[in-house]
Amino acid sequence: MQKIILIIIVAFGVQAVLSGEEVTCKTPNNEDGACIPIRQCQKMYNARRSKVKDRQYIDYISKSICENPNEAIQCVCCKPEERFEVTTTTSTTTAPRIQNFRDVLNIEEHPNIQLFDTNNCGKTTTDRLSYGEKTDLFEFPWMAALGYRNLSLTLDEPRIFLCGGTLINSFYVLTAAHCILKENDPKLRLEFARLGEHDFATTQDCKLTDSGKICARPVQDIPIDKTIQHPDYNHPRYNNDIALIRLKNQASISKDDVVPVCLPITEKLKQKQYPEYIITGWGTTENYTTSTVLMRATIPFVEMNVCQQKLKAKNLFVDLADDKQFCAGGHNNIDTCRGDSGGPLLVMDELNEPQTIQIGVVAFGVNSCGIANIPGVYTKVQYFVRWILDHMEA
């Protein structure tokens, strides 16, 4: 019988899948290896679990990611001498047991998980939480405003802010795919992400406290290195509306004005349903900007069938996907008006301690600002954490 050899081209080399054999690959150093789950690769597995992080080796692990059609979890290209020995004797170290996790939701073994600073993400230094429309300075320090250039205008014309996003580590902003593509207006070009902004109307953001005046650092306008929109965006319509932006320069993280948000990376957070959420933004959408100051609102979860009925009642025909999207809000005509296209839907929950977790991304096409009792539709971040990690680099 003729053997069929499938050659798969990957970022760091060539790997071959042979009938009845292991998936072979080339390491980032062009050495022969096997594409196996990271738990079977002793050196990488120990490095990932170590409290002392070797950033250079973590980067090596990220570049070692490979595809193995026989495994439902993330794999790495591992050299033979770095593998766990598997034997039936009791005196030999054995590879940890590999479970058959669900493909999309499993991220426990992902080499890039270390790119998230789970100890410091989602924390603020503000001494209070806002309960009105306007947020307090330093309350949501992961917010990003996306700056666009209108190509029909001269270079010295001011940039415009049409979408929001969130800083998830010092090099990456999470946003919506429609904010990257802007297919409705080809004259617009995304140029930079602004971090550390609170009030667009002020040169420097400050607040008065009992101990005196406290000011934020100048905003950081960081050019875009590259954008990664989900390949299945808009298939079906309005689905998979999520994207990553890699910044050209590393953001300057602080403890108050620029901090990454947390993502739902634990099994508990991925499965949890919340009764209400916090939405934040300047109200920057395709049509208008409603505020110079960062705003917030608390909005309730809406069951999918109820959401679908309300959308259809207003002739908004959207094929919602339970696993990838959810609905929230639709009360008092104000909730989605305070959010940004591509901006976050947030909750406070336990990661290592109480921290702010991003659960949703404001999706495209169903912005209901000004339409009574119409819920907003949000991309479910839990579903896409694996995709996010797959496309991040150290």
How many CA atoms lie less than 13 Å away from 380 in the CB half-sphere? 20
Q: Is 256 a catalytic residue?
A: no
Tell me the C-alpha distance between 287 and 362, whole Å: 15
Is residue 24 within 8 Å of residue 11, measured between CB atoms?
no
∠ Cα 393 36 32 (to 5°): 85
Helix (H/G/I), strand (E/B), else coil: 308? helix
Helix (H/G/I), strand (E/B), else coil: 85? coil
Q: Is 178 a catalytic residue?
A: yes
Tell me the C-alpha distance between 121 and 194, whole Å: 18
Element spanning 100, H or E = none
Active-site entry in 136, 341, 349, 368: 341
User: For the chain, how many residues are written?
Assistant: 394
Whose CA is closest to 207, among 139, 272, 253?
139
Tell me the C-alpha distance between 48 and 70, whole Å: 23
Q: Is 130 a catalytic residue?
A: no
Helix (H/G/I), strand (E/B), else coil: 27? coil
Instruction: State the virtual CA torsion across 18, 23, 28, 31 in degrees, nearest 10.
Output: -70
Is residue 279 within 8 Å of residue 335, measured between CB atoms?
yes
Q: What's the token pair of residue 104?
A: 């999309």
Active-site entry in 110, 178, 198, 230: 178
Angle between helices 55-63 and 42-49 (to 10 degrees): 130
Active-site entry in 241, 257, 335, 349: 241
Alpha-carbon 334 to chain mean position:
25
Q: What's the token pair of residue 388?
A: 């996010």
Helix (H/G/I), strand (E/B), else coil: 312? helix
Which residues are tagged catalytic?
Answer: 178, 241, 341
